[in-house]
Structure 1
Amino acid sequence: MNKGTVTIKLDERWSLEDFSVFSKQYIQIYGFFFALRKVSETDSKLEFERMPWLGGGSVVNFFNGVTNHIHPNELPNVKRIQYASPGFMELSALVEVSEDIRNLVVAICSSVGTIATTYHVIHSQYRTRKLAQKKMRQLDKQDDKKFVIDSVLSLHEKLNLTPQQVMGLSKISKGDQLVELKMLMAMYRRAKPIAELQSKNKAQL
């Protein structure tokens, strides 16, 4: 992966909350895509692969873990920022990882209604079936297993994931599709606020 300058165009009026939301979600998704590239390009074993993935705490710990796994020199840092109409933010970051984020945000923006509906249906069924405290091997009902598999494939398509990213997800989840579903839903929740900023023309990745 190559370090370089990534430019994000800024426009409209930004609040402090906008900057806070953008930076918080961007760094978490950055860590996620970094991890996907790391495990798909190498045979390295990352410590967060052993997480239990039972309950909401595991999701938070996972995203903190992937970010903490990145060497400080490879984290995104602000090089220059000009707040105007229009303005820009220049980041020193891994170009490939930043491109992954841009592609994800574009995918969400291009089908915002469809993907929001898909997520809502999946999340509603996920809660109804009480899957938060389970892994794939603990599912007894074939209908639950089919729901998980179909949901994972649907999110792969809606989020426009590459074969490399799908392979990385499988490696980090140890092939547990329910764990992978939890990762995908969490990734969408973190990318959605950035996509909303882009759809309002505040940020153009």
Structure 2
Amino acid sequence: MADFPVEYRPDDDSYLYEEIATQDALNLRAEQTQSFMLGLDNQLFIDDLSIIPRIFQQLYCFHYGLAHLGMTSVRDVMGKLLGNWTGGASAVNIFTGLKNIIPVIHRPQIASLQFNSPGHIELNLLPNLALSIEQVAARLSSPIRTKRADALYKNTYSYFKDNGLSGFDDERGLEVRDISPETLENIVQRVRIFFKCFGWTDYHSKFNLIDAHPLQQLRAVLAYYRRLKILNQYIIDDKLEIGRSRVVGR
């Protein structure tokens, strides 16, 4: 603040009144956070206590971006993070960038942490986003749906390899080239099928609002799926329960 011109500094009693606040700001203020549990149980190592909240936060950030694509600022940032089709940001940067667009009041905040097998991480966050993660995780915990999603992922890997496209299966930058109309349509269809697997009927139309090539859209969805699989393995191993703590029964 020392180098900031005095005439531009706010007064000590300055407030952001509703009369001068943007509609987006007012809408964000209306979204209230609530308590949400990540139940923990059985044998966990210190790495697990780092991985579980980190992956959950990354999924939360992705859902936040999708849920707020109606806001121009969020939509523009997601478009930049995905990159234009002649290049690409890494998948890690996508999730880091999405975290940075979330207002502090909406970021997952630890309210309590308890573990004595069972235990929990109690978070304060937007409940609708946490619920959407809980729902997609439960959906893909079904052996049949998991098998279908894995088959789609592996088939996409093979398809990209056969068509000379690489980079979608790891965290590096994406290599792209001229894509034929047939290949482009195939990519668009794969994004649509993944969204159907996730049960995201409302998200797909919003996702198309992003100014990004379908190849980048698919890459983001695949990055999301890889993270969801990590979290789901904890659920399958009975080490994690999203939305409920066995300690407090909620």
Q: Output the TM-score relative to the length of structure 1.
A: 0.87
Tell whether 2:33 aligns with 1:3.
yes
Residue 195 of structure 2 contacts residue 204 of structure 2 at CA under 8 Å; is this kept in 1?
yes
Q: CA deviation at 1:15?
A: 0.9
Tell whether 2:179 aligns with 1:139.
yes
Q: CA deviation at 1:199?
A: 0.9
Greater RCO, 1 or 2 (C-alpha within 8 Å, sep 6+): 1
Q: What residue number does 1:169 align with?
A: 207
Alignment of 1:17-28 (within 5 A): 17-28=47-58
**SS of alignment partner, residue 9 of structure 1:** strand
**1:72 partner letter:** V
Q: CA deviation at 1:46?
A: 3.2
Q: What residue number does 2:194 align with?
A: 155
**1:8 partner letter:** L
- Please list every run of 5 or more consecutive structure 1 residues that lacks an aligned counterpart in the other structure: none
Q: What residue number does 2:79 align with?
A: 49
Instruction: Give the paired residue count.
Output: 199
**1:170 partner letter:** N
The root-mean-square deviation of aligned C-alpha atoms, in Å, is 2.1
**SS of alignment partner, residue 62 of structure 1:** helix
Alignment of 1:1-205 (within 5 A): 1-40=31-70, 42-44=71-73, 45-51=75-81, 52=83, 57-110=89-142, 111-131=145-165, 132-134=174-176, 138-142=178-182, 144-163=183-202, 165-172=203-210, 174=211, 176-205=213-242
Q: Output the TM-score relative to the length of structure 2.
A: 0.72
Residue 39 of structure 2 contacts residue 241 of structure 2 at CA under 8 Å; is this kept in 1?
yes
Structure number with higher helix proportion:
1
**SS of alignment partner, residue 131 of structure 2:** helix
